[in-house]
Amino acid sequence: MLSIDTKNMTNRLHEENRKRWDAGSAQWARGADSRGLWRRCPAEPELVLSPRELAYLTDIRGKHVAVLGSGDNQVVFALAGLGGAVTSVDISQHQLDVAARRAQELDLAVSFLRADVTDLARLDSSTFDIVYTGGHVAVWVSDLDRYYAEAARILKADGLFVVAEYHPFRRIWKESTHQLIVASSYFERGPFEYDVSEEILHPKPGALKSYEFHWTISDYINAVLKAGCRLLEVDEFGKDVADWEGAPLNGLPEHFLVVARKEAGQPA
Protein backbone atom coordinates (compact mmCIF):
# COMPACT_ATOMS: atom_id res chain seq x y z
CA MET A 1 0.00 0.00 0.00
CA LEU A 2 1.23 3.49 -0.81
CA SER A 3 1.45 6.07 1.87
CA ILE A 4 -0.06 9.05 0.10
CA ASP A 5 -1.99 11.95 1.55
CA THR A 6 -4.95 11.72 -0.81
CA LYS A 7 -6.50 15.08 0.15
CA ASN A 8 -4.70 16.99 -2.59
CA MET A 9 -3.95 14.02 -4.78
CA THR A 10 -7.48 13.22 -5.87
CA ASN A 11 -7.15 14.69 -9.30
CA ARG A 12 -3.76 13.17 -10.01
CA LEU A 13 -4.80 9.67 -8.94
CA HIS A 14 -8.12 9.94 -10.77
CA GLU A 15 -6.29 11.26 -13.81
CA GLU A 16 -4.04 8.18 -13.81
CA ASN A 17 -7.14 5.98 -13.49
CA ARG A 18 -8.77 7.84 -16.37
CA LYS A 19 -5.74 7.13 -18.59
CA ARG A 20 -5.89 3.48 -17.56
CA TRP A 21 -9.57 3.23 -18.54
CA ASP A 22 -9.06 5.13 -21.80
CA ALA A 23 -6.18 2.79 -22.71
CA GLY A 24 -8.12 -0.34 -21.76
CA SER A 25 -11.47 0.52 -23.23
CA ALA A 26 -11.00 -1.17 -26.64
CA GLN A 27 -9.95 -4.40 -24.94
CA TRP A 28 -12.84 -4.10 -22.45
CA ALA A 29 -15.23 -3.52 -25.38
CA ARG A 30 -14.02 -6.66 -27.18
CA GLY A 31 -14.72 -8.70 -24.03
CA ALA A 32 -18.21 -7.21 -23.74
CA ASP A 33 -18.84 -7.86 -27.45
CA SER A 34 -17.94 -11.52 -27.06
CA ARG A 35 -20.38 -11.86 -24.14
CA GLY A 36 -23.03 -9.89 -26.04
CA LEU A 37 -24.97 -8.87 -22.93
CA TRP A 38 -25.17 -5.22 -23.88
CA ARG A 39 -27.44 -6.05 -26.84
CA ARG A 40 -29.83 -8.02 -24.66
CA CYS A 41 -30.04 -6.01 -21.45
CA PRO A 42 -32.51 -3.33 -22.69
CA ALA A 43 -35.13 -6.09 -23.11
CA GLU A 44 -33.77 -8.36 -20.35
CA PRO A 45 -32.67 -6.09 -17.48
CA GLU A 46 -32.49 -9.08 -15.15
CA LEU A 47 -29.28 -10.09 -16.94
CA VAL A 48 -27.41 -7.17 -15.35
CA LEU A 49 -29.54 -6.12 -12.36
CA SER A 50 -30.22 -8.47 -9.47
CA PRO A 51 -33.83 -9.08 -8.32
CA ARG A 52 -33.07 -6.97 -5.23
CA GLU A 53 -32.04 -3.99 -7.38
CA LEU A 54 -34.86 -4.50 -9.86
CA ALA A 55 -37.41 -4.38 -7.06
CA TYR A 56 -36.61 -0.64 -6.82
CA LEU A 57 -36.12 0.04 -10.52
CA THR A 58 -39.00 -1.44 -12.50
CA ASP A 59 -41.38 1.52 -12.31
CA ILE A 60 -39.08 4.16 -13.83
CA ARG A 61 -40.80 5.10 -17.11
CA GLY A 62 -40.09 8.78 -17.81
CA LYS A 63 -37.97 9.18 -14.67
CA HIS A 64 -34.63 10.99 -14.77
CA VAL A 65 -31.86 8.55 -13.88
CA ALA A 66 -28.11 9.16 -13.52
CA VAL A 67 -25.66 6.25 -13.63
CA LEU A 68 -22.30 7.25 -12.14
CA GLY A 69 -19.17 5.41 -13.35
CA SER A 70 -21.16 3.82 -16.16
CA GLY A 71 -18.33 1.65 -17.59
CA ASP A 72 -19.69 -0.86 -20.08
CA ASN A 73 -23.11 0.84 -19.75
CA GLN A 74 -25.05 -2.39 -19.45
CA VAL A 75 -26.96 -1.02 -16.45
CA VAL A 76 -27.52 2.21 -18.39
CA PHE A 77 -29.02 0.26 -21.28
CA ALA A 78 -31.16 -1.86 -18.95
CA LEU A 79 -32.55 1.25 -17.25
CA ALA A 80 -33.14 2.94 -20.61
CA GLY A 81 -34.95 -0.23 -21.74
CA LEU A 82 -37.16 0.09 -18.65
CA GLY A 83 -38.14 3.57 -19.85
CA GLY A 84 -35.81 5.77 -17.79
CA ALA A 85 -34.33 8.97 -19.24
CA VAL A 86 -30.75 8.04 -18.44
CA THR A 87 -27.62 10.17 -18.11
CA SER A 88 -24.49 8.05 -18.24
CA VAL A 89 -21.49 9.56 -16.43
CA ASP A 90 -17.94 8.26 -16.68
CA ILE A 91 -14.46 9.73 -16.36
CA SER A 92 -13.24 7.96 -19.52
CA GLN A 93 -14.19 9.46 -22.85
CA HIS A 94 -13.19 6.23 -24.61
CA GLN A 95 -15.60 4.22 -22.47
CA LEU A 96 -18.35 6.73 -23.27
CA ASP A 97 -17.56 6.67 -27.01
CA VAL A 98 -17.98 2.88 -27.10
CA ALA A 99 -21.26 3.17 -25.18
CA ALA A 100 -22.56 5.97 -27.42
CA ARG A 101 -21.94 3.85 -30.54
CA ARG A 102 -23.77 0.93 -28.98
CA ALA A 103 -26.67 3.10 -27.81
CA GLN A 104 -27.05 4.37 -31.37
CA GLU A 105 -27.04 0.85 -32.73
CA LEU A 106 -29.74 -0.15 -30.21
CA ASP A 107 -31.67 3.06 -30.86
CA LEU A 108 -31.58 4.01 -27.19
CA ALA A 109 -31.76 7.69 -26.21
CA VAL A 110 -29.07 8.13 -23.56
CA SER A 111 -27.22 11.32 -22.53
CA PHE A 112 -23.49 10.91 -22.00
CA LEU A 113 -21.34 13.09 -19.78
CA ARG A 114 -17.62 12.83 -19.13
CA ALA A 115 -17.06 13.76 -15.51
CA ASP A 116 -15.35 12.66 -12.32
CA VAL A 117 -17.95 11.32 -9.87
CA THR A 118 -16.47 13.55 -7.16
CA ASP A 119 -17.20 16.66 -9.23
CA LEU A 120 -20.53 16.67 -11.06
CA ALA A 121 -20.63 20.46 -11.39
CA ARG A 122 -22.04 20.13 -14.91
CA LEU A 123 -25.19 18.51 -13.52
CA ASP A 124 -27.70 20.75 -11.75
CA SER A 125 -28.72 20.07 -8.18
CA SER A 126 -32.04 18.29 -7.52
CA THR A 127 -32.59 17.07 -11.09
CA PHE A 128 -32.67 13.27 -10.88
CA ASP A 129 -35.32 10.91 -9.52
CA ILE A 130 -32.79 8.08 -9.25
CA VAL A 131 -29.00 7.89 -8.99
CA TYR A 132 -27.52 4.43 -9.52
CA THR A 133 -23.85 3.65 -9.03
CA GLY A 134 -21.74 0.55 -8.60
CA GLY A 135 -20.27 -2.53 -10.18
CA HIS A 136 -16.66 -1.71 -9.25
CA VAL A 137 -16.69 2.08 -9.33
CA ALA A 138 -15.92 3.13 -5.73
CA VAL A 139 -12.68 1.16 -5.88
CA TRP A 140 -11.31 3.84 -8.27
CA VAL A 141 -12.47 6.80 -6.19
CA SER A 142 -10.28 8.40 -3.53
CA ASP A 143 -13.02 10.32 -1.72
CA LEU A 144 -16.16 8.28 -1.08
CA ASP A 145 -17.84 11.06 0.93
CA ARG A 146 -17.47 13.58 -1.89
CA TYR A 147 -18.64 11.03 -4.47
CA TYR A 148 -21.86 10.23 -2.60
CA ALA A 149 -22.39 13.88 -1.59
CA GLU A 150 -22.39 14.73 -5.30
CA ALA A 151 -24.80 11.86 -5.99
CA ALA A 152 -27.18 13.20 -3.33
CA ARG A 153 -26.82 16.79 -4.53
CA ILE A 154 -28.09 15.94 -8.02
CA LEU A 155 -31.02 13.91 -6.57
CA LYS A 156 -34.41 15.50 -6.07
CA ALA A 157 -35.72 15.49 -2.49
CA ASP A 158 -36.95 11.95 -1.76
CA GLY A 159 -35.05 10.69 -4.83
CA LEU A 160 -33.71 7.15 -4.78
CA PHE A 161 -30.00 6.42 -4.33
CA VAL A 162 -28.91 2.88 -5.23
CA VAL A 163 -25.37 1.66 -4.55
CA ALA A 164 -24.63 -1.89 -5.76
CA GLU A 165 -20.95 -2.69 -5.34
CA TYR A 166 -18.57 -5.62 -5.26
CA HIS A 167 -18.28 -6.77 -1.65
CA PRO A 168 -15.09 -5.54 0.10
CA PHE A 169 -14.64 -8.96 1.76
CA ARG A 170 -13.67 -10.21 -1.71
CA ARG A 171 -10.80 -7.76 -2.20
CA ILE A 172 -8.29 -8.58 0.48
CA TRP A 173 -6.84 -11.99 -0.47
CA LYS A 174 -3.61 -13.16 -2.06
CA GLU A 175 -3.86 -15.08 -5.33
CA SER A 176 -4.10 -18.77 -4.43
CA THR A 177 -5.97 -21.72 -5.83
CA HIS A 178 -6.68 -23.48 -2.55
CA GLN A 179 -6.13 -21.21 0.46
CA LEU A 180 -7.42 -17.88 1.71
CA ILE A 181 -4.45 -15.77 2.81
CA VAL A 182 -4.99 -12.15 3.76
CA ALA A 183 -2.94 -9.87 1.48
CA SER A 184 -4.03 -6.59 2.99
CA SER A 185 -6.05 -5.82 6.08
CA TYR A 186 -9.76 -5.17 5.57
CA PHE A 187 -9.08 -1.78 7.19
CA GLU A 188 -6.36 -0.63 4.75
CA ARG A 189 -8.12 1.79 2.42
CA GLY A 190 -5.16 2.40 0.12
CA PRO A 191 -4.36 3.85 -2.32
CA PHE A 192 -3.05 0.59 -3.76
CA GLU A 193 -0.86 1.33 -6.76
CA TYR A 194 -0.68 -1.13 -9.67
CA ASP A 195 1.29 -1.13 -12.87
CA VAL A 196 -1.31 -2.18 -15.42
CA SER A 197 0.76 -1.59 -18.57
CA GLU A 198 1.15 -5.25 -19.43
CA GLU A 199 -2.47 -6.06 -18.59
CA ILE A 200 -3.68 -3.50 -21.12
CA LEU A 201 -1.19 -4.53 -23.82
CA HIS A 202 0.76 -1.35 -23.41
CA PRO A 203 4.35 -1.71 -24.64
CA LYS A 204 6.20 0.22 -21.93
CA PRO A 205 6.27 -1.18 -18.37
CA GLY A 206 5.27 1.47 -15.86
CA ALA A 207 3.52 3.63 -18.45
CA LEU A 208 0.08 2.92 -17.06
CA LYS A 209 -0.70 2.98 -13.35
CA SER A 210 -3.93 2.50 -11.53
CA TYR A 211 -4.87 3.50 -7.99
CA GLU A 212 -7.44 1.51 -6.07
CA PHE A 213 -9.20 2.12 -2.76
CA HIS A 214 -10.66 -0.51 -0.46
CA TRP A 215 -13.67 0.97 1.31
CA THR A 216 -15.28 -0.97 4.15
CA ILE A 217 -18.99 -1.68 4.47
CA SER A 218 -19.27 0.96 7.20
CA ASP A 219 -17.46 3.50 4.96
CA TYR A 220 -20.17 2.99 2.32
CA ILE A 221 -23.07 3.22 4.73
CA ASN A 222 -21.65 6.24 6.53
CA ALA A 223 -20.98 8.04 3.23
CA VAL A 224 -24.62 7.53 2.21
CA LEU A 225 -25.83 8.81 5.60
CA LYS A 226 -23.43 11.80 5.56
CA ALA A 227 -24.78 12.69 2.11
CA GLY A 228 -28.15 13.28 3.76
CA CYS A 229 -29.96 10.09 2.76
CA ARG A 230 -32.04 7.73 4.87
CA LEU A 231 -31.51 4.01 4.46
CA LEU A 232 -34.24 1.81 3.02
CA GLU A 233 -32.28 -1.42 2.71
CA VAL A 234 -28.80 -2.86 3.12
CA ASP A 235 -28.13 -6.30 1.75
CA GLU A 236 -25.24 -8.68 1.00
CA PHE A 237 -25.69 -11.41 -1.56
CA GLY A 238 -24.23 -13.48 -4.40
CA LYS A 239 -21.95 -16.49 -4.27
CA ASP A 240 -20.47 -16.88 -7.75
CA VAL A 241 -16.68 -16.89 -7.95
CA ALA A 242 -15.22 -15.65 -11.24
CA ASP A 243 -11.90 -16.83 -12.74
CA TRP A 244 -10.32 -13.39 -12.37
CA GLU A 245 -10.87 -13.40 -8.60
CA GLY A 246 -7.94 -15.80 -8.16
CA ALA A 247 -8.77 -17.16 -4.68
CA PRO A 248 -11.26 -19.68 -3.24
CA LEU A 249 -13.83 -17.09 -2.22
CA ASN A 250 -16.79 -19.45 -1.89
CA GLY A 251 -18.83 -18.59 1.16
CA LEU A 252 -18.02 -14.88 1.05
CA PRO A 253 -20.66 -12.42 -0.19
CA GLU A 254 -20.15 -11.25 -3.76
CA HIS A 255 -22.13 -7.99 -3.74
CA PHE A 256 -23.70 -5.56 -1.37
CA LEU A 257 -26.58 -3.22 -1.94
CA VAL A 258 -27.47 0.03 -0.21
CA VAL A 259 -30.78 1.64 -1.12
CA ALA A 260 -31.56 5.06 0.31
CA ARG A 261 -33.69 8.15 -0.22
CA LYS A 262 -32.51 11.73 -0.10
CA GLU A 263 -34.05 13.34 2.96
CA ALA A 264 -36.30 16.26 2.17
CA GLY A 265 -34.77 19.52 3.41
CA GLN A 266 -31.20 18.57 2.43
CA PRO A 267 -29.26 21.40 0.75
CA ALA A 268 -29.71 21.30 -3.04
Ligand X SMILES: C[S@@+](CC[C@H](N)C(=O)[O-])C[C@H]1O[C@@H](n2cnc3c(N)ncnc32)[C@H](O)[C@@H]1O
Q: How many CB atoms lie within 10 A of CB 120?
A: 23
Helix, strand counts (H, E) of the chain = 7, 9
Q: How many residues does the chain have?
A: 268
Whose CB is nearest to ligand X?
A: 71
Site mask for ligand X (CB under 6 A), range 100-129, x = bound: ----------------xx------------
Bridge partners (DSSP) of residue 262 are 229
Specify the stretch interacting with ligand X by CB under 6 A; choose among 86-94, 101-109, 209-217, 251-259. 86-94
Interface residue with ligand X, options 88, 95, 214, 229 (CB under 6 A) = 95
Specify the stretch interacting with ligand X by CB under 6 A; choose among 49-57, 66-74, 192-200, 224-232. 66-74
- 17 contributes a contact to ligand X by CB under 6 A: yes
**Cβ proximity of 127 and 152 under 8 Å:** no
Judged by CB, which is closer to ligand X: 87, or 95?
95
| Separation CA 33–CA 40 (nearest Å) | 11
- Cα 43 → chain centroid: 22
- 21 contributes a contact to ligand X by CB under 6 A: yes
- 92 contributes a contact to ligand X by CB under 6 A: yes
DSSP, collapsed to helix, strand or coil, labels residue 113 as strand
Binding site for ligand X (CB under 6 A): 14, 17, 21, 69, 71-72, 90-92, 95, 116-117, 135-137, 140-141
